[in-house]
Chains A and B, each alone.
Chain A
Amino acid sequence: MFGAGGGTSSYQEVEEADFVLLWGSNAREAHPIYFHHVLKGLKSGAKMHAVDPRRTASARFADAWLGINVGTDIALANAVAREIIAADLHDRKFIDHSTSGFEEFAAHVQTYTLEYASSVTGVPADAIQELAHSYANASMAQILWTLGITEHHNGVDNVLSLCNLALLTGHVGRWGSGLVPLRGQNNVQGGGDMGALPNKLPGFQDVTDNSARQRFSDAYGVELNPQPGLHLTLMFEAMATGTLKGLYVIGENPADSEADVSHTRKLLTDLELLVVQDIFLTRTAELADVVLPATVGWAESEGTVTSSERRVQRVRAAVEAPAGTRDDHTIIGEVAQLLGASWPADTPEALWDELRSLSPMHSGMSYERLEDNNGLQWPCPDLDHPGTPFLHGWLWEDDLGGKERAPFSLVNHEGPKEQLSDEFPIRLTTGRALDSYNTGVQSRGYPSPIRSGDQLEISHLDAASLNLAQGELVRVSSPRGSVEIEVDIKTDQAAGLAFTTFHFPELIDLNLLTNDEWDPKSGTAEFKAAAIRIDKLTSGERYV
């Protein structure tokens, strides 16, 4: 967002906001402790509106739930923007001073009338209007989102459409107002911080930025490639075309987690070399030529991670790792040695200090300070800096300090790539359950009394027309494959919408169904919108 790769606000701010817009996020289950902060806010009087195709566990806490059609977020956001402008609720002073492109934006959203948005999103016009007014009138408002926004073929545009709303109302760059993308996985933020992005060096410095690159070259004594690399989806494309022949996978399980997973497995199998570094023999590791057994980062080794509020925190070894495993950094260092580089066998702290010398936003975060302060929020440029609770405060400075004003983005509604058809008339979307996590590699290990397994949640209306009973096993097919799964019939789910979790790939290979259409800007696949068909199994089939 306007040039920084993290959420703008601290968790604590949502406790003090008076309006919370939860968009495409079931934080109650996927980010439960963040949701505690939201609940504190609601308890002290904040209002919350939830935009989500399903009335999720989180949406049940909301003052209003808007049950949007899957993949129509931009239409809704643009209509909210149009309504805010039409009702003269936008913050003109902020817009004039701190943003650019407002006139074009206002003209651009003209066509997104409440009526049009209502017809596209399925949400009544009144509901959209009320949301627009509540958000604009709040003195402190937060927009929170997760994968419901990003796991679309146009996920980046979705995010931009929400940023527009913040710019329109000045709900950014101040304590209590902000934009909060919740990170789905531990240390996704940290990965980005450390430069595990195709176009970034550590500290979100651009690989194309000559002076930044020079600093790294000087420190490491090698020239760095100024070309951005490939993001995950492009890597798979490159595997498909044969230009990418070897892959080194650390702590990921794409053979289970990728959309259209049968295609992914084939690509992985066809590689000339697949190296997998993991704590388990995952499905991906099973396909590997070399497996490098690693220690468990958070319980068997030392280091740092970064959270969704940009807080860098220490992880520590609590138990001894099993024999034969090594810390990730040790393995990487030794691989480097074997490849002929002379990387010293540094401690995690020494490696961290090296990072601090190269990434200005981490410079002030010594291990000692991280420990004393329960972590620090970047940017934290020097040892006296307290860390930064919220970003973009400069937008509110009288003098913008030469920074470019924050631009409005012109984005349009496209809808999911995969259209519903007579053959595949039902929209499938996916998400997480409270007690489970991703492909279940870690979460399967403990005996959760509330685990129900993956089920296909469908509307009672669809159940009636398909003549299905609660718990009945059905066949679900998409253009890419099919699986068998039990149905869970919901009385408050919209007709034509199906939902499932994807935590038990060994039992039900749900990503056989999902769509791998991806966002050219982020490389994220459209997990959230596939077209499917549900077929009743004949009794004979059922017992095969």
Chain B
Amino acid sequence: MSDLKYTDATPDSDEREAVDYLVSDPPVRRESERWVISGLGRTRDTRHLLLPGLHQLQNVKGWISPGGLNYLAETLQIPAAEAYGVASFYDLFQLEEPEDGPLHHVCVDPVCANRGSGSYIEELRSEGHRVHESPCLGQCERPPASFVQMTGAENQDLTSTTSVDPQFFSGATSRLLRRFRTNAPTRLESYKEQGGYEALKSAIELGGTRVIEMLLDSGLTGRGGAAFPTGVKWQSVANHQSAPKYVVANADESEPGTFKDRMILENDPFALIEAMTIAGISTGCEKGWIYIRGEYTTAADRLARAIAQAYSAQLLGEAIAGSSASFDLEIRQGAGAYICGEETSLFNSIEGFRGEPRSKPPYPTDIGLFGQPTIVNNPETFLNVLEILNYGVDHYRSAGTPDSPGTKLFCLSGDIARPGLYEADFGITLRELLSNAGGVDGVLQTVLLGGAAGCFVSPQQLDVPLTFEDTKSHDLTLGSGAVMVFSTEVSVRDVLSRLAQFFRDESCGQCVPCRIGTVRQHEVLLQIGDSKADVENVALLEDIATVMTDASICGLGQTAASAVRSALTLGLLDESRP
């Protein structure tokens, strides 16, 4: 709702068609020449189509032209400046007319950088291709990772272009990965044959209260990084009487070194759909949203096909599985912004605003997506729900430790013999995990545990059990379960400055400590370069770290210094290393 005035730039017919196709019931409805229905309510109802609309425009023309943007914005009654503000937030949207041909996004984050992305980029460039140096693409098990953005055709990720099979391994207890090898991911029948939709049946029988009790008893905590008790989250949303309420799956997975959610979506999409449906009917949420990072083309595609089948089989929509409950599911694709994995920023992104985190409190369970009570969980968290319902709480707790029950997915990458996705009981040590993966490729220098927002682990710390409680007591974090292994061949300085650059590039820019702090941190690290960090620089880094950690709005800024701090503590910047 605003004064809407657009520049004279007009769309071409492709752009017009793309937008018209998307917006079937625009916010301004001309009932007759003398009667127009519009207003704030209608504008609010359609604003979430902005992000899909921008994807459409980007895809038809290879960029978002002023005419296309005007047309989309006017159709949705969004001010042009705001639509531009949103478009310019994302890496996958180009706002200047590019040269022809696909755009190759190639990962330059530490694992891929050490495993050939530099030469791959040179190769592509010498062949005349356009290349964008990308942050981690979530394909770390098969470096160098790339993603190809097309014009007028489907984008391509590695799963669709490479012959390298997905690598996943389970230890003694195969739980979350139980269907991975045998499942035909986009066939509902196949999923059902492997016990699919039994959990939903039980959930319907048990009723929401009992389901939530089981979650509380199971001790399940979130796998997205913050390890918040899942049952408490569901309970709190269930307690809200207000409607509508929402369930969101956070599959934005952009933490460097993390690729588990992509694997889940590519190999077991129905499991996520089933678990979200359970969440919906158990807590009274009428609609679910799955937010997938924009680069996960195959995952999004398989998920969309699975959702369509679930609808036809009445496992989504009205009267689910013969019950009186209804639940709808919609996919939203991100567009290249790590910060959109932060839950409130994800809400803003879905709603068609800039992906800037909101301040908490209020928490999503009270005021979440579209201002309504909302459950947000990571796909891995959702998969655990199926285990609990299918096999019971006692069985669930039979793996892991009392404070970290169950199993955990670890993403191993870097200098390791068999990179890939590993499922292990909580409590396994790093040493065991590395040896399960065939051992370090070379001499171990350090492991970056938990992603860019995680900490460096020294070879002396390999026996810390991987549980929430043990890592915490050692000032470490499991984070997203990323385990990036670096041999002595790797320059930790380069790794660090690349991590610092990652945060600098990915900061949303909203708050001063992070917007400027990430830049200053990167600058100081670059200045230190190969020389030993002097006292003043260390003090400055320490002060920068303090303000980012203490005063930033969200987890990005709050953890942007954690790897640097741990490197300083471990003395990784002390003597000159390779």
Contacts and interface: CB of A to CB of B under 8 A. Distances in A.
A124 B37 contact: no
Nearest to A121: B34
A48 B31 CA distance: 17
B41 interface: yes
Interface string B19-44: 00000000000011111111111100
Nearest to A118: B34
A43 B36 CA distance: 20
A410 interface: no
B34 A66 contact: yes
B97 interface: no
B34 A61 contact: no
B1 interface: yes
Given A42-B40, A43-B40, A64 B1 contact: no
A155 B38 CA distance: 29
Interface in A473-529: 492, 494-495
Contacts of A59: 36
Contacts of B3: 28, 57, 60
Nearest to A127: B35
B4 interface: yes
A123 interface: yes
Contact of B39 (A39, A48, A66): A48
A60 B34 contact: no
Interface string B36-78: 1111111000000000000000000000000000000000000
A59 B36 CA distance: 9
B77 to A, nearest CB: 9
Contacts of A437: none
B40 A64 contact: no
Contacts of A43: 40
Contact of A65 (B1, B38, B41, B42): B38
A62 B39 contact: yes
Contacts of B39: 42, 47-48, 61-64
A127 B35 CA distance: 7
A39 B39 CA distance: 11
Interface in A47-74: 47-48, 55, 57, 59-68
A122 interface: yes
B43 to A, nearest CB: 10
Given A42-B40, A43-B40, A65 B35 contact: yes
A59 B4 CA distance: 12
A60 B40 contact: no
Nearest to B3: A57
A55 B29 CA distance: 13
A206 B219 CA distance: 81
Contacts of A28: 3
A63 B35 contact: no
A62 B38 contact: yes
B4 to A, nearest CB: 7
Interface in B189-220: none
B1 A123 contact: no
A124 B35 contact: yes
A61 B27 CA distance: 12
Contacts of A61: 1, 39-40
B40 A123 contact: no
Contacts of B41: 47, 63
Contacts of B31: 124, 126-127
Contact of A66 (B35, B38, B40): B35
B37 A60 contact: no
Contacts of A39: 1
A499 B39 CA distance: 24
Contact of B32 (A42, A48, A60, A124): A124
Interface of A: 28, 39, 42-43, 47-48, 55, 57, 59-68, 121-124, 126-127, 492, 494-495
Given A64-B37, A494-B33, 8 more contacts: A42-B1, A42-B39, A60-B3, A61-B39, A63-B41, A66-B35, A67-B36, A126-B35
- Going nearest first, the 6 A-B pairs with the smallest beta carbon separation are A63-B39, A67-B34, A127-B35, A65-B36, A123-B34, A122-B34
17 contacts: A55-B36, A61-B1, A62-B38, A63-B37, A63-B39, A64-B35, A64-B39, A65-B35, A67-B33, A122-B34, A123-B35, A124-B31, A124-B34, A126-B31, A127-B31, A492-B36, A494-B33
